[in-house]
Structure 1
């Protein structure tokens, strides 16, 4: 049975016709909504040249581009720190020692439950009083690493649990210790399987860097607010351009995720084909006609 149809029956001719009708109606509704929004913006003068003129200057473009670089730098540092914490947290969560497993579970549940914005504000307010005189990037990365390490640890744990138990048991049967089996057999396969989910985690980190404006960290959203403060008439335009810049980064990560999924699908198809070819080669072949004819003459 096709895996995509294990939870529902494929639609028949009438169902496919209804789906096409609903798709056409939905597309027309979306187009009508976009046209209505465009007409409303045109009526309010949002397409006037003076409201877009500031973004045609090289200084404004460089100002926003530097904010995008700061956003990507904060996202990269946060992702590296979060993934470095998530791997041991997931392993400790799967530990057979109750104390270790409960402590890791308490950490994960605690930092998953706290809103990231409140965590960032707490870091900025409380850590300087304890002697941590960090730049804004440090507070943002530390808070995001704590929050996203808890989220990513669950992704890693789910990836490990998704593998068949026979992989670990076979490694133990070969004489490996449990730690060696996890490091050399289970983790490499689990990391390959959960790579698309990890890319989605990176996308969430990139989007959450926009919360750095409350510190304030000089990232993309904060710089767009500076532009709109300098040119109040271009508030909507600044928000639109920043949204498009975030959208380009998100689209690149989503394309990378789809590319990884296609590559993994082709690898699985090649593996299935090789196994099928090997099984066919093991079957007894037909008796050659020349041998059969010689036997009949004898």
Structure 2
């Protein structure tokens, strides 16, 4: 019996031909669209050398690279703070105490509903009025941590609920307290299972750091606006360069996610093969005994 669960029936010969035709037509349509966009940009003079000249200077490259470093710094700080807050929230939502689950649920639902941009503006306006004289990075990290902790808490909770109940019951049978079973048995396995989803959450955090331009925090998007203000003729070019820089970071995270998924798949297949070998050995030994 195969351990894989098929969510749909594999296409037949006609279905494969139809999918291939759709893929070819879609690829041609995308190429035609890109050619039309390129033609339009060329007609409007967007490929002229003077509009790209500013990006050939070392000072501009370093200026944008420093903005990328600031973006990654904000993303790392926000991801660490969000995860540190998300784990207690997820455990609180799964708590047997109803009031704890209710409070954590209210927090998660509230901060999931509030737009991140409004939350950043609220933090940067209200906290200084209360005497918090923080740098822009602190305000951005606080707002993003509050928002993404609610998102990540649901990922952590789903990862915990996806594990078989037998894991927790086995830990309790060994004499562990419920908190110890969750901390030492259930949570580590859940974290390994939901690692691809956590990488996707980090990718969302990296992209959301672009909202820091409203503070203003000197991140990549804000620095591209500075470049386009200095060279107004290069507005579109600055947006293109910054998009490519964000794309490199996103591609690296997506590559890491694919590698993690492949490694998890190999681990599952290895365990299935070992289990299958044990079953085969047991059946062979039983047959030998009967003979």
Q: Distance in 2 between matches of 1:281 and 1:185?
A: 29
C-alpha change, 1:4 and 1:168, in structure 2 (3 Å) is closer
Q: Distance in 1 between matches of 2:58 and 2:148?
A: 36
Structure exhibiting the larger radius of gyration computed from Cα positions: 1
The aligned counterpart of 2:236 is: 236
> Is residue 80 from structure 1 mapped to residue 80 from structure 2 by the alignment?
yes
Query: TM-score under structure 1 normalisation?
Result: 0.94
Q: Distance in 2 between matches of 1:273 and 1:218?
A: 52
Aligned-pair CA distance for 1:41 = 0.5
Q: Distance in 2 between matches of 1:272 and 1:197?
A: 23
Superposition map of 1:59-138 within 5 A: 59-138=59-138
The aligned counterpart of 2:164 is: 164
User: CA offsets per residue over residues 102-149 of structure 1, 9 Å max, x none?
Assistant: 000000000000000000000111110000011100000000000000
> Is residue 11 from structure 1 mapped to residue 8 from structure 2 by the alignment?
no
Aligned-pair CA distance for 1:5 = 6.5
The aligned counterpart of 1:185 is: 185
Q: Distance in 2 between matches of 1:3 and 1:231?
A: 59
> Is residue 208 from structure 1 mapped to residue 208 from structure 2 by the alignment?
yes
C-alpha change, 1:185 and 1:5, in structure 2 (3 Å) is closer
Aligned-pair CA distance for 1:10 = 1.4
The aligned counterpart of 1:282 is: 282
Aligned-pair CA distance for 1:276 = 1.1
User: CA offsets per residue over residues 245-287 of structure 1, 9 Å max, x none?
Assistant: 0000000000000000000000011101111111122223576
Q: Distance in 1 between matches of 2:239 and 2:88?
A: 39
Q: Distance in 1 between matches of 2:90 and 2:45?
A: 53
Aligned-pair CA distance for 1:162 = 0.2
Q: Distance in 2 between matches of 1:34 and 1:169?
A: 57
Aligned-pair CA distance for 1:6 = 3.1
Q: Distance in 1 between matches of 2:170 and 2:106?
A: 32
C-alpha change, 1:20 and 1:75, in structure 2 (3 Å) is same
Aligned-pair CA distance for 1:3 = 7.3
Q: Distance in 1 between matches of 2:10 and 2:273?
A: 26
The aligned counterpart of 1:51 is: 51
Q: Distance in 1 between matches of 2:95 and 2:149?
A: 18
Q: Distance in 2 between matches of 1:180 and 1:237?
A: 55
Give the RMSD, CA atoms, in angstroms: 1.4
Superposition map of 1:20-35 within 5 A: 20-35=20-35
Q: Distance in 2 between matches of 1:118 and 1:284?
A: 66
Q: Distance in 2 between matches of 1:98 and 1:259?
A: 39
Aligned-pair CA distance for 1:21 = 0.6
Q: Distance in 2 between matches of 1:140 and 1:197?
A: 23
The aligned counterpart of 1:262 is: 262
- In structure 2, the gaps of 5 or more residues are none
